[in-house]
Chain A
Amino acid sequence: GQNIDQPTEMTATEGAIVQINCTYQTSGFNGLFWYQQHAGEAPTFLSYNVLDGLEEKGRFSSFLSRSKGYSYLLLKELQMKDSASYLCAVRDPYQRGATNKLIFGTGTLLAVQP
């Protein structure tokens, strides 16, 4: 089966940097996504990693190590509006053929404090 682990909650200070880790256990790999979800709203796409290394997008970066089954999301220059749930998801590697089926972790609730 598939298992995706993330910390349940994290707290950080405005202006600081925070790293949210995600580990996954699957026998295959077909891409990893990070989404942000504010309370009561839909998830919004942040990043996609399919190869090892760092993908940078403004204040947000995501890293992937396929050999370790590990990814992290790095948020720099934290702002109050970054308080949200951050969801790590892998595309199901067990489906034959193309799929957009995502398997989500339970999410990390980030609280940014002044």
Chain B
Amino acid sequence: KAGVTQTPRYLIKTRGQQVTLSCSPISGHRSVSWYQQTPGQGLQFLFEYFSETQRNKGNFPGRFSGRQFSNSRSEMNVSTLELGDSALYLCASSNLNAGSEQYFGPGTRLTVT
């Protein structure tokens, strides 16, 4: 079974631009969560989607948004990029509504210059 895939793996953008990151969960998984990982803050929750609905949202500004498609694939978008948005963005998928382990993808390394 293929694991969680994320594209692109690396991305360099400049301040003010926007970016879209993609996540394909493990086949059959309907829950997708996004996390931002930085050296100073560790892993912080961004959003969670289940069956195309955003179930939870973390404490990030409105520049961060996401969505989930009918095939469970998910995208997140960051508009008006700031230097502080440089981070590893991780996607995790789960095969149950809740209460099960989550499988992480390799992440997208975003660098904002």
Chain A positions within 8 Å of B, measured between CB atoms, are 31, 33, 35, 41-45, 48, 50, 87, 89, 91-92, 95, 97-107
Interface stretch (choices B11-19, B68-76, B78-86, B100-108)? B100-108
Interchain CB contact under 8 A, B106 and A101:
no
Contact A42 B107, CB 8 Å, known A103-B45, A104-B42: yes
A65 CA to B99 CA, complexed, in Å:
18
Interchain CB contact under 8 A, A98 and B97:
yes
Instruction: For B92, list chain A residues within 8 Å (CB).
Output: 100
Interface centre among A31, A48, A92, A102 (most CB of B within 10 A): A102
Closest chain-A Cβ to B31's Cβ sits at a distance in Å of 5
A33 CA to B103 CA, complexed, in Å:
12
* Complex: chain A residue closest to B57, CB-CB: A101
Instruction: For A102, give its contact among B41, B50, B55, B102 (CB under 8 Å).
Output: B102
Interchain CB contact under 8 A, A100 and B106:
no
Instruction: For B107, list chain A residues within 8 Å (CB).
Output: 42
Instruction: For A45, list chain B residues within 8 Å (CB).
Output: 101-103
Chain B positions within 8 Å of A, measured between CB atoms, are 4, 31, 33, 35, 41-45, 48, 50, 55-56, 58, 90, 92, 94, 97-107
By secondary structure, the A interface counts as loop
A99 CA to B100 CA, complexed, in Å:
10
Interchain CB contact under 8 A, B42 and A43:
no
A42 CA to B37 CA, complexed, in Å:
10
Interchain CB contact under 8 A, B44 and A100:
no
A83 CA to B104 CA, complexed, in Å:
19
Interface centre among A44, A92, A101, A102 (most CB of B within 10 A): A101
Instruction: For A104, list chain B residues within 8 Å (CB).
Output: 35, 42-44
Contact A98 B106, CB 8 Å, known A92-B56, A103-B45: no
Closest chain-B Cβ to A29's Cβ sits at a distance in Å of 13
Instruction: For B42, give its contact among A31, A48, A107 (CB under 8 Å).
Output: A107
